[in-house]
Amino acid sequence: MGNIKIIDNKLMMNSKECIFKNTISKFFEISDEVFVLLKIPFGKPLTEDDYFNLFKLNSENEIAWKANFKKPTSQFQCSPLVNITSINGKLITTDFMGRQFEVNITTGELKIIGFTK
């Protein structure tokens, strides 16, 4: 994708800058696509933006999507995402409660696939 540089909440790529609401925790590249995970803010009530803190950037360094999740039941409790990785070419994210999700890299939709220990 090119030279990527992170400073706090800014990601610089291809001579363009993308500024996020919160500090960047981690970024990941899969097949020339860039995914950005933001840190969970502490000391304030969490908003929906804080729970869906995974983004995909396009080649122009613009946000293509923000992760989204359809609750399987009304009792399902959302939790902020804390990690991203790639397993067999698939983007996997883990939330604060230890649930693992496969990320649809085209739409940003999360599908629960298991739990961490």
- Please tell me the predicted confidence (pLDDT) of residue 2: 64
Give the C-alpha separation, 48 to 25, whole Å: 18
What six digits make up the tokens of 50?
Answer: 């804080």
Asked if pLDDT for residue 117 goes beyond 70, the answer is no
What are the chain's domains?
4-115 (2.40.128)
- Averaged pLDDT for residues 103-107: 94
Instruction: Indicate the pLDDT class of residue 71, thresholds 50, 70 and 90.
Output: low
> So what's the pLDDT on residue 7?
95
Average pLDDT in the 16-39 region?
A: 92
pLDDT above 70 for 69: yes
Query: Within a 10 A sphere around the Cβ of 15, how many other Cβ atoms?
Result: 8
For position 75, what pLDDT does the model report? Answer: 67
- Alpha-carbon gap, residue 17 to 102, rounded angstroms: 27
In tens, the pLDDT along 37-67 reads: 999 988 888 887 788 899 999 988 999 999 9
Start-to-end CA distance of the chain, whole Å, equals: 34
Residue 31, classed as helix, strand or coil, is coil
* pTM (two decimals): 0.89
